[in-house]
Chains A and B, each alone.
Chain A
């Protein structure tokens, strides 16, 4: 059970001019459960890192004070537990039980107490497997449950959750929220950062909203905060409950022949017998449970992977897309990956946009024109000289879509384009894709985002799970 007091707290990362977070005065009492909100860039994650004692003195400059039970975060580390976004980089050991034991070993808990505490923590989060279960065999949601158990086993007085479901599909996110609910006790103070507010609200009793420029904008019960600030928060990208977005469907059904057609496409152990068409002026959503091979199918349709059975034909070409030269491919089909960083090949945003046109043999003038137009269309002008790897999640997503558009393909294949995005980027993406569709592009999006399907998709293809478990 811990009490948190911040007085005039601020933090500036070394080498940055702007404060990541500043002027925060906040008092959180024993056992309170707080949802921490704010527009992206308001410093929510920095604040959590400060509370977890993970900001070393030499990594930046601090203003004001932070106290956890009257001690500095560095001295209170043994009372604080934190769960991060990415399940892959939180698990340490090869076996699930060993992973929960890892923290207990670090804290010098006597060997005889370790295994009972491991079992207890796994029970609290509802971990369904024996302790010998390989951590590599867990789904994202299960791995995140295990990470939570590893933190709960340490019996923290203050539990910090930094977007624990942002990297998970809806089913995985449900597993984790369920685990948080199950493991809730009145001795633990909870601070949660999460921008899918509707799902997070049952877990908390207080909402604190950080102001982008510093300070706290709102603080109170969820009803109070959303009544007074809901509109503005929604505009700034927070997924406030009750603010729906109006549908953007195609005005008319497609008329011409399909630009691409998949016939009985199969990829061993990953995709089973998928047939579909992509049409100009239409958004097609490809949905289905995890393990149904949606992402693999997107790679095949995008001409990046050869199917092991069936065929893809597109743009009237005799050869299937996976046999085309890369430059030809980009002039016809643009692929946008789930993780934007996979697709970056240069160290400047503007160069990133110039790669495709240059490869197609466009002149320097033409290329510059394309780059400028895209920077403007996707609100990236100010970032033209920035390194793509330093962009925020929303900026990186916009850039990855822009790079695909740079070669003017008629077919766009996107894998989970709205994954983990805040409401503002989400709305921008939907607006952009709707506009592209209305200009006559064919758009195929693999997604498990229901809102996206409801708002934008003109047609849906659902892939079934393979009967055989993918290895």
Chain B
């Protein structure tokens, strides 16, 4: 997965422009209620709603598809696991793969799980795909009253993340240059990986420490009330987005309950 810190899609789309905190709250309030049921219909409707809303976030389906490939991989993993280990093998037998009977029951359960995975993850993906990290940190501090020490600190650390990639490559090459390689021995490979990861961590901590000193030298720890160079506002439209998300979640659950398909998780 390529690591992007910049939003993709059109930043001026009506919902992409909303306050980052409102987007985050809407995503949580829409997807959390979905956990309450085990039926496949609820996540299916929710997913349909999410995909229908994509254009309002300025996202094209094709661009998003490239971002969510880890989800697709996870979905495939769920399917394989269910075929191998599902306890409930009711329903019509579709195909027998040696000892594993693939039945309609197995596929329904797998489909339900995959749909849930997507329906719950997608709102988060949409928020981060349409939100600049700086804007998110600003909004967390200004609108959600998160401590600046935490939000801006995390933002600064976030900026150092892409460096880790280059650092990892350098450490790996340097080990080879020192005559340290694992050859074909899997145990040696794991040990080498661990040692390299440790060196990466030590380096990251040292860099983080230097960054913290530089931030404090510019008054980050001054204790003076911070002012904001960039204003984040939380308007009526943002409230509407949050309320809308709650309304949609309620509507999705109501549909399932009306149709008698609601299967509570407990």
CB pair B228 A94 closer than 8 Å = no
Which A residues touch B213, using CB under 8 A? Answer: 54, 84
Tell me which of B134, B195, B210 contacts A84 (CB under 8 A): B210
A355 touches B215 (CB 8 A): no
Interface residues in A309-346 (C-beta closer than 8 Å to B): 325-327, 329-330, 334-335, 337, 339, 341-345
A102 to B215 CA separation, bound complex (whole angstroms): 9
Contacts of B170 in A (CB 8 A): 337, 339, 342
Min C-beta distance of B136 to chain A, whole Å: 11
Q: Is the CB of A111 within 8 A of B228?
A: yes
Contact with B along A451-466 (1 / 0, CB 8 A): 0000000000000000
The reply to whether A326 and B218 form a contact with Cβ atoms under 8 Å apart is no
Give complex CA distance A404, B177 in Å. 8
Q: Total number of A-B contacts with CB less than 8 angstroms?
A: 148
Q: Determine the distance from Cα of A297 to Cα of B179 in the docked complex, in whole angstroms.
A: 20
Choice from B134, B219, B227 contacting A93 with Cβ under 8 Å: B134
How far is B220's CA from A78's CA once the two chains are assembled, in angstroms?
11
* Chain B proximity of A128: nearest CB distance (Å): 21
Of B133, B177, B210, B213, the most chain A CB neighbours within 10 A belong to: B177
Q: Is the CB of B227 within 8 A of A330?
A: no
A126 interface residue per 8 A CB criterion: no
Which among A90, A101, A107, A329 is the interface contact of B219 at CB below 8 angstroms? A107
Stretch at the interface among A191-199, A245-253, A299-307, A367-375: A299-307
Cα–Cα distance between A334 and B174 once the two chains are bound (Å): 11
A151 contacts B by Cβ under 8 Å = yes
Q: Which residues in chain A, 131-160, are within 8 Å of chain B measured between CB atoms?
A: 135-136, 147, 150-151, 154
Is B159 touching A305 in the complex (CB atoms < 8 A)?
no
Which residues of chain A are within 8 angstroms of B152 by Cβ–Cβ distance? Answer: 92, 102
Closest to B158 in A: A94
State which size class the interface on A falls in.
Answer: 35 or more
Mask: chain B, 222-233; 1 = CB below 8 Å from A; 0 = not: 101111111100
CB contacts (< 8 Å) of A175 on chain B: these are none
A233: Cβ under 8 A from any B Cβ? no
Q: Which residue of A lies closest to B5 (CB)?
A: A94
Residues of B within 8 A of A102 (CB): 152, 215, 218, 220
Does chain B have a CB within 8 A of A265? no
Distance, CA A216 to CA B163, complexed state (A): 40
Q: When chains A and B are docked, how far (Å) is the Cα of A146 from the Cα of B3?
A: 25
Q: Return the chain B residue nearest A109 by Cβ.
A: B227
* Known contacts A102-B218, A105-B227; is-contact A337 B177 (Cβ 8 Å): yes
Contacts of A118 in B (CB 8 A): 229
Query: Given A88-B207, A106-B219, does the pair A335, B177 have CB atoms closer than 8 Å?
Result: yes
A114 and B229 in contact (CB under 8 A), knowing A89-B211, A94-B134, A407-B179?
yes
Across the interface, B176 reaches (CB within 8 A) one of A111, A114, A329, namely: A329
Q: Is the CB of B179 within 8 A of A342?
A: no
B222 touches A78 (CB 8 A): yes
CB A53 to nearest CB in B, in angstroms, measures 8
- Contact between B134 and A108, CB atoms less than 8 A apart: no
B144 to chain A, nearest CB (A): 17
Alpha-carbon distance between A108 and B229 when the two chains are bound, in angstroms: 10
B219 touches A77 (CB 8 A): yes
The interface bits of chain B over 145-171 (1 if a CB of A lies within 8 angstroms of the residue's CB, else 0) are 000000010011001101100000011
Say yes or no for B202: interface residue by CB 8 A criterion: yes
Point out the residues of chain A lying under 8 angstroms from B226, CB to CB: 105-106, 108
CB distance from A354 to the nearest CB of B (A): 11
Considering the complex, which residues of chain B in the window 185-218 have a beta carbon less than 8 Å from any beta carbon of chain A? 195, 199, 202-203, 207, 210-211, 213-218
Q: Is the CB of B179 within 8 A of A326?
A: yes
Q: Give chain A's interface residues, CB within 8 Å of chain B.
A: 52, 54, 77-78, 81-82, 84, 86, 88-95, 98, 101-111, 114-115, 118, 135-136, 147, 150-151, 154, 299, 302, 304-305, 325-327, 329-330, 334-335, 337, 339, 341-345, 355-356, 359-360, 389, 403-404, 407
Chain B residues proximal to chain A, CB less than 8 Å? 5, 132-134, 152, 155-156, 159-160, 162-163, 170-171, 173-181, 183, 195, 199, 202-203, 207, 210-211, 213-220, 222, 224-231
Q: List 7 A-B contacts (CB under 8 A).
A: A54-B217, A78-B222, A95-B134, A98-B229, A106-B226, A325-B181, A342-B170
